[in-house]
Structure 1
């Protein structure tokens, strides 16, 4: 290759990258604001640095002249997302890491979303196994997170799956329920440590509308300390549609209000009731204004196409939550939802990062829906990243 050709190639590559960046700048809107979300608090959400493998994918797409795909993945990474903290470091390192994120957000006058994921026995020792060794270690970690936040604003998504997937749900408990009792105490400790911080809101785990009934999740929320938290979150790392989330959230918040007034969660309507029957029950039994109810936030990072319906009779365990094919990015993160019970739509699960190596009940190691092996949990998944961009609803690019 001559020097002239090399120079021309470099020029074209820079031009392609510039075109991709220009396209993204043109189509990524300013993020909606919500005055009053926190007193004297930021009204835009924080965008953390992208996964480095996402940046590599963008450059590779540019190199191969796939400019619209490059622009799409770039737009996805430039959208506000949560920052995950999952332990594995000494308390001082945890404090410093949290402080770095919250400081970066404060310098931009943006609100960071921190997903805390270090509960002992997390994920029932499955795809995202790990967490603190015991309650004392977990409490020390939470204290370090608290110190890192200080008096800066932050929204906390506290321990995904911690209440929807208790030790008692997966055979990890003893006959006395010791580990489940410890789980509730750990969540409550974190709520009590973090919620009082100036400008900090804590949301605890309520799973999603395709998992536990309202009657089952509400007592878990109460035991986990929801009375002392801002509220709860829905659909983390899952795919339930916005309308389904909104109805489930209405039912959960209403049932929490009913229980707070002395009612029994077993009497509440759940998501499988006929809608008109449920609405009639709520009108007759719940008189709390939405502003006084517990609110929620929802993960819309990958729910643009709703949940995946596995082929009937094919898999012994279809793992419909695990890298399902054909999904798309959902509603953009915002603090202005139009729903008095929903404080925010957030991208909590980082879109483009794998759920794990999904074998769907087969011997593996390939994902039979894809014909190849999925990346490990948390690793960048280029094929899925493009799926999410291509199938986004609303569309990410024109």
Structure 2
């Protein structure tokens, strides 16, 4: 091996050692073949739209949609019983092993999920959640895998939703549930766990870090940023670096309130980062951030729901482990582009999404109009031939 490996090559080597099967592919003088992520089977509705576009002679859109469908993206585990989830996880890691790829799982079944909102659900009790997590662990086994743990699980605590009692019983249970998931999944031989950390347009670094620590972030590989949201890669990675630095400061006994956050003057924050190196790794979601976040017309909506099926968005940069940043383990497509966020009423009485003038599909269902937007407005562009 050459002594003059670039930092990107060093990162690729580390990821390959952590995630890839014993024979991942052809090695080069600079190290192993690049990490490749798994592409799960897509919904029948996605392929039905592809066939419809071809039948209408809209070959450019059809090619772009097929490219989007075939881009590696995460497998979401949730809403299934323990046995079903275990089988799905096991089938996924076996399929990935045959390909020499690494699967990305989103573990999404915590009690009180999404404050009982559009993606509400989850198992009913802490005991049931622990049993479900045990099933996920059995399914993954010793295989290589990335796990994004419970989107919004920390950013939307029961106390944030008005669903807790005065003693904070449900919020305390949430932290214990997340800690159990970390302690069960992270020790698996090939698994790396990333606790969801919201996005840069939501909680400050300071408040989020305190939550991450209480949930066991120091026992996980790291955290995930921008899951299912639309913030740019630059904003997401900056937020990730700040969180990683603040985690190091706080776990060494410092006060998270002293850390710079995403609203701090960048020059001040860079000075801090130079003195407080990051300690935890992170992944980011670029599945729908090609055009960045949506800003609703001023004064039009009492609750714009800028996260919910925003119009005029495009898919973003393709998944890769070659980020060039030793703390940024991977850019991933965590949200499945083309799947709806739910019916977005934006503070109106409905029954239609007032921005789209249609009834958006239920959360997780295929949304053909949005899928076509994401294809046409992709940055960088998707292949259309």
Q: TM-score, normalised by structure 2?
A: 0.92
Return the alpha-carbon distance in structure 1 between the equivalents of residues 93 and 376 of structure 2.
32
- Cα deviation for residue 55 of structure 1 reads 0.2
Question: Which residue does the alignment assign to 1:323?
Answer: 309
Return the alpha-carbon distance in structure 2 between the equivalents of residues 180 and 243 of structure 1.
32
Question: Which residue does the alignment assign to 2:117?
Answer: 126
- Counting matched residue pairs gives 360
Return the alpha-carbon distance in structure 2 between the equivalents of residues 321 and 237 of structure 1.
8
Return the alpha-carbon distance in structure 2 between the equivalents of residues 78 and 157 of structure 1.
21
- Cα deviation for residue 251 of structure 1 reads 0.7
Question: Which residue does the alignment assign to 2:141?
Answer: 150
Question: Which residue does the alignment assign to 2:347?
Answer: 361
Question: Which residue does the alignment assign to 1:338?
Answer: 324
Q: Please list, as runs of the form range in 1=range in 2, the aligned pairs for 1:62-73 lying within 5 A after superposition.
A: 62-73=54-65
Partner-residue secondary structure (3-state), 2:146: strand
The answer as to whether partners of 2:72 and 2:333 remain within 8 angstroms in 1 is yes
Return the alpha-carbon distance in structure 2 between the equivalents of residues 80 and 283 of structure 1.
34
1:303 pairs with one of 242, 267, 289: 289
Return the alpha-carbon distance in structure 2 between the equivalents of residues 155 and 254 of structure 1.
22
Structure of higher CA gyration radius: 1
- Cα deviation for residue 34 of structure 1 reads 2.7
The answer as to whether partners of 1:39 and 1:199 remain within 8 angstroms in 2 is no
The answer as to whether partners of 2:344 and 2:353 remain within 8 angstroms in 1 is yes
- Cα deviation for residue 35 of structure 1 reads 3.0
1:53 pairs with one of 45, 50, 74: 45
Partner-residue secondary structure (3-state), 1:164: coil
Return the alpha-carbon distance in structure 2 between the equivalents of residues 272 and 302 of structure 1.
23
The answer as to whether partners of 1:87 and 1:141 remain within 8 angstroms in 2 is no
Return the alpha-carbon distance in structure 2 between the equivalents of residues 66 and 283 of structure 1.
52
Question: Which residue does the alignment assign to 2:13?
Answer: 35
Return the alpha-carbon distance in structure 2 between the equivalents of residues 204 and 41 of structure 1.
18
Question: Which residue does the alignment assign to 1:350?
Answer: 336
Partner-residue secondary structure (3-state), 2:138: helix
Return the alpha-carbon distance in structure 2 between the equivalents of residues 272 and 126 of structure 1.
28
- Write out per-residue CA displacement over residues 153-179 of structure 1, whole angstroms, 9 at most, x where no aligned residue: 100001100001100001010000000
The answer as to whether partners of 1:38 and 1:199 remain within 8 angstroms in 2 is no
Gaps of 5+ in 1: 1-32
Question: Which residue does the alignment assign to 1:216?
Answer: 207
- Cα deviation for residue 51 of structure 1 reads 1.4
C-alpha change, 1:198 and 1:276, in structure 2 (3 Å) is same
Question: Which residue does the alignment assign to 2:175?
Answer: 184
Return the alpha-carbon distance in structure 1 between the equivalents of residues 359 and 79 of structure 2.
27
Question: Which residue does the alignment assign to 1:375?
Answer: 361
- Cα deviation for residue 40 of structure 1 reads 6.3
Partner-residue secondary structure (3-state), 1:306: coil
- Cα deviation for residue 258 of structure 1 reads 0.7
- Write out per-residue CA displacement over residues 312-360 of structure 1, whole angstroms, 9 at most, x where no aligned residue: 0000110000000000000100011111211000001000000000111
Q: Please list, as runs of the form range in 1=range in 2, the aligned pairs for 1:81-160 lying within 5 A after superposition.
A: 81-89=73-81, 91-160=82-151
C-alpha change, 1:282 and 1:386, in structure 2 (3 Å) is same
Question: Which residue does the alignment assign to 1:246?
Answer: 237
- Write out per-residue CA displacement over residues 77-136 of structure 1, whole angstroms, 9 at most, x where no aligned residue: 0000000111332x2222111101111111111100000100000000000111011000
- Write out per-residue CA displacement over residues 155-213 of structure 1, whole angstroms, 9 at most, x where no aligned residue: 00011000011000010100000000000000000000000101100000110000000
